[in-house]
C-alpha cells in the first residue's frame, strides 16, 4: 500500500503591515515637521499669529481706527516709533527710573527680612508692616510722594520701592522660615551668626522663594511705574513710556497708544524670559532646588 505524496509547502515571507520597516517609510518624510511643531517656541509663535490675525479681523470688521487700530497699523506705528527714536527714548527713561527703585526696594527687603529672622522685634516689625502696607496700592501713594518729593523722578522711585519692598520681603521671609533645621544647625556648628549666618545658610537655601519674590516684585514695579507715569506725565509735562501712552491718547493717535502698550508687554516678556528664566535655569534648576 503506497502512501499519499504530500505536496511541498512553499514558504512565503509576508511583511506585516505593522512592522517597523513598513511603518517607517511613509512616516519618515513628516517626522521633522512633527518635531518642529512639538517645540514650545513654535507653538507660542503660532498662537501669537492666530491672535494677531483675529485682532486684525476684528479691527477691520469694526471699521474705526480711532477706537481700535488693526495689528498692521499698530505694527507700523511701533516701527515708526523705533525708527524715529522717540519710543526708544521713552523706554530708556522708564527703565532708568525702574532700575533705581527696584534696586533700592530689593536692598531694603533683604535687609528688613534679615533683621526679622535674627531678632524678635524685627520679626514683629516685618509682620506688622507687611499687614498694613502690602494691601496698599503703590499708585495711591503717588500724590503724597509728589507733595513730599516734588515733581521729579524721586516720586516715581518712592512708589516703585513701595511696590517692590513688601511682596519681596514676604516671599523672602517665607523662604527663610522654610529652611530645614539641619541646615541651621550646620551653620551654627560652623560658628556662623548674624548676617554671616543669613548670607551663608539662609540665602542659598531660600533661593527659589527669593527668585519667585523677585519676579513678582518686578511685575509690580513695572505696572506701578507705567501707571505712575500716566499721572506724573500729566502733572510735569514729561515722562517715560507711560507718558508716551498718555500723550498720544490726548492727541487721538490710538495706533501709537497701542504701540506703547505693545512696548510694555514686550519689555515685560523679555525680562521674564531673558533674565529671570536664565537665572532660574542657572541656579534653581541646575542645583535641583525646585520645591
Is residue 182 over pLDDT 70?
yes
Cβ–Cβ under 8 Å, residues 246 and 230: yes
CA–CA distance, 216 with 273 (Å, rounded to integer) = 14
The domain 71-285 is placed in CATH, from the list 1.10.3720.10, 3.40.1190.20, 3.20.20.100, 1.10.630.10, at 1.10.3720.10
- Which grid cell sits at 162? 513701595
In order of 7, 70, 72, 262, the CA distances from 77 in angstroms are 86, 11, 9, 11
106 — pLDDT class (breaks 50, 70, 90): very high
pLDDT at 29 over 50: no
What is the rounded CA–CA span in Å between residue 260 and residue 254? Answer: 10
- Whether 40 shows a pLDDT value over 80: the answer reads no
Q: Which residues contact 67 (CB under 8 A, 6 or more apart)?
A: 254
What band does 13 get if pLDDT is binned at 50, 70 and 90? very low
Over residues 121-146, mean pLDDT: 90
> Which residue intervals of the chain are DSSP H helices?
20-27, 31-37, 40-62, 71-84, 86-118, 120-133, 142-149, 153-177, 181-189, 194-197, 203-205, 207-236, 241-250, 254-270, 277-280
**pLDDT at 190 (0 to 100):** 80
pLDDT at 114 over 50: yes
What is the pTM for the complete model shown? Answer: 0.78
Query: Considering Cα of 236, then 237, then 240, then 241, what sign does the dihedral take?
Result: positive
Q: Would you state the pLDDT for residue 111?
A: 92
Look up cell 531673558; give the residue.
274
pLDDT tens, position by position, 199-209:
878 888 888 88
Confidence of residue 288 (pLDDT cuts 50, 70, 90): low
Q: Which residues contact 285 (CB under 8 A, 6 or more apart)?
A: none
Q: Which residue has the cell 500500500?
A: 1
Residue predicted with more confidence, 161 or 2: 161
Is the CA virtual torsion 116, 122, 128, 132 positive or negative? negative
Return the exposure string of 128-165: e unless at least 16 CB atoms fall within 10 Å of the residue's CB, then b: eebeeeeeeebbebbeebbeeeeeebebbbbbbbbbbb
- Please give the share of the chain, as a percent, with pLDDT higher than 70: 81
For residue 211, pLDDT beyond 50: yes
Amino acid at each position: 500500500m503506497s502512501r499519499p505524496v504530500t505536496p511541498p509547502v512553499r514558504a512565503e515571507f509576508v511583511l506585516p503591515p505593522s512592522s517597523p520597516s513598513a511603518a517607517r517609510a511613509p512616516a519618515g518624510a513628516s517626522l521633522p515637521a512633527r518635531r518642529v511643531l512639538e517645540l514650545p517656541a513654535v507653538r507660542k509663535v503660532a498662537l501669537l499669529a492666530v491672535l494677531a490675525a483675529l485682532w486684525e479681523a476684528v479691527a477691520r470688521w469694526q471699521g474705526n481706527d480711532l477706537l481700535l487700530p488693526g495689528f498692521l497699523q499698530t505694527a507700523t506705528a511701533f516701527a515708526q516709533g523705533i525708527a524715529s527714536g522717540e519710543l526708544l527714548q521713552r523706554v530708556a527713561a522708564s527703565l532708568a527710573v525702574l532700575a533705581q527703585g527696584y534696586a533700592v526696594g530689593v536692598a531694603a527687603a533683604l535687609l528688613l527680612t534679615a533683621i526679622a529672622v535674627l531678632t524678635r522685634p524685627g520679626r514683629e516689625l516685618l509682620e506688622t508692616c507687611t499687614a498694613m502696607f502690602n494691601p496698599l496700592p503703590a499708585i495711591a501713594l503717588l500724590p503724597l510722594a509728589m507733595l513730599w518729593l516734588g515733581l521729579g523722578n524721586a516720586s516715581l522711585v518712592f512708589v516703585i520701592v513701595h511696590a517692590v519692598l513688601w511682596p519681596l520681603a514676604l516671599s523672602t521671609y517665607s523662604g527663610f522660615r522654610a529652611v530645614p533645621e539641619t541646615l541651621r544647625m550646620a551653620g551654627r556648628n560652623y560658628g556662623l551668626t548674624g548676617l554671616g549666618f543669613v548670607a551663608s545658610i539662609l540665602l542659598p537655601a531660600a533661593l527659589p522663594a527669593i527668585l519667585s519674590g523677585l519676579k513678582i516684585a518686578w511685575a509690580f514695579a513695572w505696572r506701578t511705574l507705567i501707571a505712575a507715569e500716566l499721572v506724573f506725565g500729566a502733572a510735569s509735562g514729561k515722562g517715560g513710556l507711560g507718558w508716551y501712552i498718555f500723550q498720544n491718547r490726548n492727541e487721538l493717535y490710538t495706533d501709537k497708544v497701542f504701540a506703547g502698550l505693545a512696548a510694555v508687554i514686550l519689555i515685560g516678556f523679555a525680562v521674564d524670559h531673558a533674565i529671570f528664566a536664565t537665572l532660574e535655569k542657572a541656579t534653581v534648576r541646575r542645583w535641583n532646588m525646585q520645591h
